[in-house]
Every structure is written in structure tokens, then in C-alpha cells.
């Protein structure tokens, strides 16, 4: 059935989408208000540049990089795209100040601070350099606090996401935070794999979205072919969160496709927790040791193709990853689905 002809002067579905995410597009400086999720070992220069060149907003995952490595990655990304992109920094990184200095020196336009409440000094240093600061908000109260601290935009990411996750679903976070956060753009993440979902959050007040899992099997992604095959074979129920063994020792759950590596993490967590309670290491050192496990396990899977013992971090939208596609086509499909959803809405309204 053909799409209905808009009444004279009425916006087309494509124009309606443009209006819905214009604030996000203007903030990011890109054609589509779709941020690439920062996935360690995956969101490097090739995928980041491909996302930006495809009309979205690529984000480098700094992860556990040193300052020199991050500097080289930013330079490498600039060689592949002349469009805006950002850098994601983990606030618990021991060299956070040095990483910020790299972003300032490289004149990075947008910096995402993730993995905990960012120091106010870090936000101020980035803003003083002219960069826009984006922070993750796990609750309405923290969202307000981050905005008071100077965050220029927020990302709310639900438990459906891959990698490190919070306890609350994307849909609940959106209902809790979007009506209250009107002063800054808010991007929704977690479990988003189709354009219809993007439209629903935009209509709730979001300025855009962030996707990660959907991009892992992009042609430009350097992920190992076996890693990509694992994603293509998986369904939503295969992507499960890790279990916290000791409530006295808070370990952030990680969602990944279940494999032997999941069991190895449980063994590692048990050993680290026991050493912590024995007084051999403090909590911060224990947390970093657990993070190092994930960094190593993820590299084994993404780079080396060890999909048995490595970490297959993936969101529940992995079931919607069915083939390897160019990044630009993935983004175009999402946009086309969003426009089609708005056209269907218009068709039903017309009768």
C-alpha cells in the first residue's frame, strides 16, 4: 500500500523524523541523531569513522588505552573522516587526567564520561576547552546532579544493553527521566535494534539514541569473523547478565552471550572477592582487577576470535543482528524503519 499523501503544508514522515531528533542532530553535528556505542576493541578508528561517514556520530572507546594509544587513535580517526566524532572515557581509569589532556590537545568536540560519577574538575576542564560533555545517568536524581555539574547532554542506558549494565530497563528509565530532563539533550540506549524503537523514544522526548550491538557486525568493524558469527547465530535470550556473588562487594553486572568465558568470570570474581575479604587487596584494586579480566577476555574474543573462553559482550538486541552489512546501510535501514513507522502512524490516523 502506498504511503498517504500529506495534506497541503503537512510535514512528510521524513520531515517529522527530522523535527523529532533535530535537537540531537544539532548537538552532535551529524545527519542522524544516532550515536555509536563505545565498545572496547570494537569502537576503534575504522568503525567510528564509518559511523560518522554514514551520517551518525561515531564514538571511540578509550577503555583501558594509555594516553599515547588514545592520541594515536584520535589521529587515525581524523585521517578517515572529516565529520564529527567523540571519545568515551572511563572515569575510573587511573590516568583519566592524562586522557582528558589528550582530548583537549586534539580538540575533540564531544567527550563521553562513563563508568561512574565523573569528577566535577574533569567536566570543567573539558568544557573550558570548548568540548561538549556527555554523561551517563542511571536515575533521575543523578541526571539532575550531572546537569548541575555541567553535563551538556545525557545518555540513559537500560539493562538490555551489552557490556556493563545497570538494573533498570530502558523503557522504565525513559519514562522516569525524559519528562524531567528538558534542559539538555537526552540520548536513549539499551536494546535498540530497529527504527520503530527510535521513533518511540523520540516521541517520548529523547533527542536521539545510541546503538552498539547492532554495529558489531558492520563490514567496517574489525571484530574477528568468529565473533561476528556468534552474534549472527545468537538470539535475545542468549545475552545474559553476570551474577553478583557477594552483596557486600558490588560488582557491576555485564551482559554477554553465555559461554565458557561466563563461567571463568564467576571463578575470577569468587577469587577476587575472597582476597578482598581476606584483606589482601582493597576494594578499588579489586574492582580494577575484575575490569582487567573483562578487558582481556573481550580482546581474546573480539581480536583473536576465541568465542569459547573470551567475552561475547552483547545486548539483547543481538537477535536482530542477522548478517554483516556496511555501516552506512545499517544506519540507513534504521532511518528508513523510523520513517516507515511514522508513515504507518499517519496512515492509521487518516483511517
Domain ranges for the chain, please list them.
13-222+321-343, 225-316
Give me the pLDDT at residue 211, please. Answer: 98
Strands (E) in 177-238, as ranges, are 186-189, 208-211
Give me the pLDDT at residue 4, please. Answer: 54
Which of these, 86, 81, 36, 39, lies nearest to 61 by C-alpha position? Answer: 39
Give me the pLDDT at residue 1, please. Answer: 45
Q: How far is CA 314 from the centre of its chain?
A: 11
- The count of other CB atoms within 10 Å of the CB of residue 265 is 20
Which of these, 189, 176, 162, 317, lies nearest to 253 by C-alpha position? Answer: 162
Cell digits of residue 26: 544539532
Q: What distance in Å separates the CA atoms of residue 227 and residue 209, rounded to the nearest whole number?
A: 25
Cell digits of residue 105: 590537545
Query: Which alpha helices (DSSP H) does the chain contain, by range?
Result: 13-20, 22-28, 45-53, 67-80, 96-105, 120-128, 140-148, 170-177, 195-204, 225-233, 260-277, 283-302, 327-350
Could you read off the pLDDT tens digit of each residue along the chain, which spans 351 residues? 455 555 667 899 999 999 999 999 999 999 999 999 999 999 999 999 999 999 999 999 999 899 999 999 999 999 999 999 999 999 989 899 999 999 999 999 999 999 889 999 999 999 999 999 999 999 999 999 999 999 999 999 999 999 999 999 999 999 999 999 999 999 999 999 999 999 999 999 999 999 999 999 999 999 999 999 999 999 999 999 988 777 777 778 899 999 998 888 888 888 988 998 899 998 878 877 887 788 789 999 999 999 999 999 999 999 999 999 999 999 999 999 999 999 998 888 776
What is the CATH code for 13-222+321-343? 3.20.20.70
Give me the pLDDT at residue 179, please. Answer: 96
Query: Residues 259, 309: contact at Cβ < 8 Å?
Result: yes
Residues in the chain, overall count: 351
Q: What distance in Å separates the CA atoms of residue 333 and residue 200, rounded to the nearest whole number?
A: 16
Which of these, 195, 230, 231, lies nearest to 337 by C-alpha position? Answer: 195
Amino acid at each position: 500500500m502506498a504511503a498517504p499523501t500529506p495534506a497541503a503544508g503537512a510535514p512528510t514522515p521524513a520531515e517529522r523524523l527530522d523535527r523529532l531528533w533535530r535537537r540531537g542532530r544539532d548537538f552532535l553535528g551529524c545527519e542522524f541523531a544516532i550515536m555509536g556505542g563505545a565498545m572496547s576493541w570494537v569502537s576503534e578508528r575504522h568503525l567510528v569513522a564509518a559511523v560518522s561517514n554514514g551520517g551518525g556520530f561515531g564514538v571511540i572507546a578509550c577503555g583501558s588505552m594509555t594516553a599515547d594509544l588514545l592520541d594515536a587513535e584520535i589521529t587515525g580517526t581524523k585521517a578517515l573522516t572529516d565529520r564529527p566524532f567523540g571519545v568515551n572515557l572511563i572515569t575510573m581509569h587511573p590516568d583519566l587526567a592524562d586522557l582528558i589532556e589528550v582530548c583537549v590537545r586534539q580538540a575533540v568536540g564531544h567527550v563521553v564520561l562513563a563508568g561512574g560519577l565523573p569528577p566535577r574538575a574533569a567536566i570543567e576542564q573539558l568544557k573550558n576547552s570548548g568540548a561538549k560533555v556527555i554523561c551517563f545517568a542511571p536515575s533521575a536524581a543523578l541526571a539532575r546532579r550531572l546537569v548541575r555539574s555541567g553535563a551538556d547532554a545525557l545518555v540513559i542506558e537500560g539493562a538490555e544493553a551489552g557490556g556493563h549494565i545497570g538494573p533498570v530497563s530502558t523503557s522504565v528509565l525513559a519514562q522516569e527521566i525524559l519528562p524531567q530532563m528538558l534542559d539538555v539533550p537526552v540520548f536513549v540506549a539499551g536494546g535498540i535494534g530497529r527504527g520503530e524503537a527510535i521513533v518511540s523514544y523520540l516521541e517520548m522526548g529523547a533527542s536521539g539514541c545510541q546503538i552498539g550491538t547492532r554495529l558489531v557486525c558492520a563490514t567496517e568493524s574489525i571484530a574477528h569473523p568468529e565473533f561476528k558469527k556468534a552474534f549472527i547465530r545468537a538470539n535475545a535470550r542468549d545475552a545474559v547478565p553476570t551474577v553478583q556473588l557477594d552483596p557486600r562487594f558490588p560488582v557491576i553486572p555485564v551482559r554477554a552471550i553465555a559461554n565458557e568465558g561466563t563461567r571463568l568470570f564467576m571463578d575470577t570474581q569468587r577469587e577476587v572477592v575472597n582476597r578482598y575479604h581476606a584483606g589482601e587487596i582493597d576494594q578499588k584494586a579489586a574492582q580494577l582487577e575484575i575490569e582487567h579480566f573483562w578487558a582481556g577476555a573481550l580482546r581474546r574474543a573480539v581480536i583473536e576470535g576465541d568465542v569459547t573462553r573470551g567475552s561475547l559482550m552483547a545486548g539483547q538486541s543481538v537477535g536482530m543482528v542477522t548478517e554483516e552489512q556496511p555501516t552506512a546501510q545499517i544506519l540507513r535501514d534504521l532511518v528508513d524503519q523510523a520513517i516507515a513507522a511514522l508513515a504507518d502512524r499517519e496512515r492509521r490516523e487518516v483511517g
